[in-house]
Structure 1
Amino acid sequence: MELHIKVPKQILTKASGYLKGYTHTLNPYAGCSFSCKYCYVREMPIAKFKGEEWGTWVDVKKGASDLLKKELTKAKNKGPVHIFMSSSTDPYQPAEANHFITRSLLEVMVEIQPDFLFVQTRSPLVTRDIQYFKQLKDRILISMTTETDLDEMRKLFTPSAPPIAARFKALKDLKEAGVPIQAAISPVLPSSESFAEKLSSVVSRVCIDDYFMGDGTQGKRTKRLGIQQIYEKEKIEEWYDPSAYLRVKKQLGNYFSEDQIFVSQEGFLPIINYKNNHILESDLLKLIIEKNV
């Protein structure tokens, strides 16, 4: 793993596409050492034109917190700010244990609070910052990627990512601390018949997604990565299908109510309270547009 210290000129990026419910994305690092085989970022410019294999390098964004303080203050003066952290890296990958970039950004956001912060990770290291999450109260949602309950599948598709058991433990700890959380079954990987039951013991909200809905190109990016060949080699082809997620969704229905199960993009949209009235995700885009006109 090659770690490089970089000084960015900008830290908040305007959100678009799949994350159109957000005003900005926030990436504490460039690159990701978890190196998931199916990661859609492998097909994005940041990975394709780097000249180094994805998963072998990480850029540490020095001075990110100072930039965020300036940019967040400016953004809030223009209207509601909804931040997705992170869209092209994991904010709690191993480098964070030593460099604390994500923590420094959270410290800024506790002081200058965005209207909503979505934290997407697959790392149990996220529990280290519970104290900051609690200060953001209902302005935050922690989304823990939990694609399966079978660690053999984790080893097959994401061998450098944290063990599944550790992620379940992290979800349990976050729940007990009163931090808003969800399990993101994204993308759906082969799982056991008790997957939904296990999830129901640690979360009350789940989002389910797959390659065909969630890679931004109806599965074309994933296909270019050769992921289908893994399924064929392991003789689990039935799981590489646009309807495979329904198998898990049906199982979830036995343990979660309909309003606790979200599918694809709807599970990643901001959830906020505005003037004490809950705004449904479907109404959020209208609100953002009105506030930024």
Structure 2
Amino acid sequence: MLPLWGPRTSEPSVSREAFMGSALIDSGAADNLIDGALVEELGIPTCPCIPALRITAIDSQPIGEGYLRHQTEPLEFQVGLFHYERLTFYVTSSPANPMILGFPWLRRHDSQISWRSGELVRWSSTCLKGCLRDPVPRPCRTSCVEEATPAACGQIPHPYTDFRGVFSEERAARLPAHQVWDCAIDLLPNASPPKGRIYPLSLPESKAMEDYIKAALAEGHIRPSPSPAAAGFFFVGKKDGGLRPCIDYRGLNAVTVRYPFPLPLVPAALEQLRGARVFTKLDLRSAYNLVHIRKGDKWKTAFHTTRGH
């Protein structure tokens, strides 16, 4: 059985309200079928089949009255979190399985089904291109549990003492050791990093810049540089009203070799969360300082301000 969403109506007229139901995936069904009682209950609009279609079981015996005389108008369906499509159903009598997705639906989507768990586990490349998109928000009830970060490791609750290193502000301020995955900056042939503009700053921004540079110098994250490269420095506002320091590396990016590393598709990654009820938000302290610039490439990342280079 496959959970899905479709338009719900409490009156004979069409409504945009959604209802949730389940559908039986049946490779032996020649098309998509829906129970007439459900059509009447939800007020789904239908149109006549001209001519009527004969419907039989596997032994060639007629099902019900033996003919399909009506079909629904196209309905918008959401299957899972991100899969959307428009489907029509032939109206029949099937109270045990009010909705049936038949072989044409399976052939169209060519999805991967786990027969052990009875779940659809992966959509096909065709679905990734045409059927998967951002979900329509649905009303839901959530609860959030947040713990304030202790000011000192001694205040960490006992169940979390094994992770005291995660809460260490001193450890977070140190640069990591160089690793094989250091950020490499390879320039295009005969290219050199351009010298960017110096951005004008307001008085509050100038004060924030001085505080940032003083702290970053003390932590060893930056140092004075004679590099010929120089990117611009500015601030953008945070949601909480604070200022976030930014360096304009667009000029450097324009002369950098682009490596086409494969990235996961967001809809495909989030589809793996289907059915999950508990989520954890992990905030990495000073996340951009957790990856080193490759040795020999640091001069390319130099920036300048009204206070120096």
> TM-score, with normalisation over the residues of structure 2?
0.19
Larger radius of gyration: 2
Tell me which protein shows more helix as a share of its residues.
1
Tell me which protein shows more strand as a share of its residues.
2
